[in-house]
Chain A
Amino acid sequence: MSYGQREVLRGVDLEIMENEIFGIIGPANSGKTTFLRALNRMEDFNPTMRVAGSVFFNGRDIREIRNVYELRRRIGVVFPLPVGLPLSVYENVAFAPRLAGIRHRTDLDEIVERCLRRAALWEEVKDRLDALGSLLSGGQQQRLTIARALSQNPELLLLDEFSIAVDPVTTMRIEDVLRELRSEVTIILVTNLVQQARRLADHTAFFLSGELVEVGVTEDFFTGPVEDPRTRAYVEGRFG
């Protein structure tokens, strides 16, 4: 994958199982975020970004899919920068359900409450659902972003370093939610917190300087046999 002339990621061959939490770890600029962007065809938004190779979602090449909007509706994305849309909190979370055609007020009410609860935000906003989402605090906006991703009822959830903008207690609550969601949703978790990968991910991939170094059972990275010594060095904090 490259931006203009600059190649940022090469040689990635990964298979991610349904209903697992798949971690991606690695230092900054190793291509983790770029990889994530290819998964819901975000390269369509950036004319300089080029992706070579194929990405298969449920057996279908995503570049061949004609209705890319349907694809994106089934993939929820959370990026490190919290984004509260300049709509009410309620409308933020009702946005995706409305796109999917859900119209009845009671259905939307139920979805909004469920997603805000799962994002650990309900208690703080339940009395002011008409407050502007873009005026919430950073941590609240990040949880709002997570609630929006959940409101899509996604098959795949992509999280890119979600805990940066969120305090440790809330991070733990969201990690609990991710564990619960595993049975319904496939989750790909990009994180620079190695211990978070250890806690949550079944399998993990280690990216370094634009290359996939190793992929395997998460716990193996820490205590089991490792194919590449750099993997063990990274998780032990000896570099990056």
Chain B
Amino acid sequence: MFSATRRDARNRRVERLFRAVFLFMTLVLIIPVVLILAVLIYKGAPIVSFDFLFKPPTNGMTAGGIFPALLGTIWLVAVALIASVPVAVAAAIYLSEYAPDNWLTRVINLAIINLAGVPSIVHALFGVGAFVVFFRFGTSILAASLTLAVMTLPVVIVSTREALQGVPHAFREACWNMGATRWQTIRKVVLPNSISGILTGVILEVSRTAGETAPIMFTGAALFLPFLPQSVFDQTMAMSLHLFVIATQVPGVPEDLPYGVALVLILMVLTMNITSIAFRMYLRGKRKW
């Protein structure tokens, strides 16, 4: 009774064909990632060492280490986070928990979407005009980090809002019915259950920020500095800019040096992304409702 007919056999063949095609397409997208990593490791690994990470560049940046650039990237990302995360989380809380459905809210959402679409070079020029010149911070870590912060705002706002919306509405109503204000409800129930989602979004955004070149190029990052930054008003070197400089601007650079820098940068990004994914997987196991 369940023996295969001619039509069944053909359907099964078509099914297998399409499954193979979709699988192939998926594998194809892994290839560039694997290739990039493979090439970087092959060509860059030999040069990466303790000295490479913790010593400054020498010989007109054709030799030595990358320590100032590494430290600079960490400075830039840290200050950018301090500036953007509180503002973004507060904005997301307003949009998710308080904003009524009126024209103002729609304008705000439109502004966020547009901000997310601004090219990074335009962010760079905005940074120069606003932070370097108008606020008179000069080219400094502060100006560069604030430029980066403005760039990361939309993404963190959206991911925070999604984390907040992930908390079921029924919980809020149950609290409101007991006489809690919106803020009491947010503080005791909504926010504690969104922190994990918020952190995941922030970590992912950090990895993107670490690799940005244009926004920091004119606002605070320098091609070469013989000293380390002492405060947010100093200039600094940065990994992304350093890579660009030694790969294209400096003559006589040995071949493996740029690969080494790129490898370290990629590993930084990969580590943060994997941390974010692992964290999210850990959270999925800890279902709270």
Contacts and interface: CB of A to CB of B under 8 A. Distances in A.
A73 interface: yes
Interface string B169-201: 011011111111100100011000100000000
A85 B189 contact: yes
Interface stretch (A40-48, A102-110, A232-240): A40-48
B119 interface: no
A83 B177 CA distance: 12
A172 interface: no
Nearest to B288: A86
Given A86-B193, A95-B188, A132-B288, A69 B170 contact: no
Given A99-B184, A135-B288, A83 B178 contact: no
B8 interface: no
Given A72-B177, A99-B178, A132-B288, A83 B170 contact: yes
A87 interface: yes
Nearest to B192: A86
A69 to B, nearest CB: 5
A148 interface: yes
A218 interface: no
Contacts of B170: 81, 83
Contacts of A140: none
Interface in B113-164: none
Nearest to A95: B178
Nearest to B189: A85
29 contacts: A40-B177, A42-B173, A45-B173, A45-B176, A47-B100, A69-B179, A72-B177, A72-B179, A73-B179, A74-B179, A76-B178, A83-B171, A83-B174, A85-B171, A85-B189, A86-B171, A86-B193, A86-B288, A87-B188, A95-B175, A95-B188, A96-B179, A99-B180, A132-B288, A132-B289, A134-B289, A148-B174, A148-B178, A152-B178
Given A74-B179, A86-B288, 14 more contacts: A42-B177, A45-B176, A73-B179, A77-B177, A83-B171, A85-B174, A85-B189, A87-B188, A95-B178, A95-B180, A95-B188, A96-B179, A135-B288, A135-B289
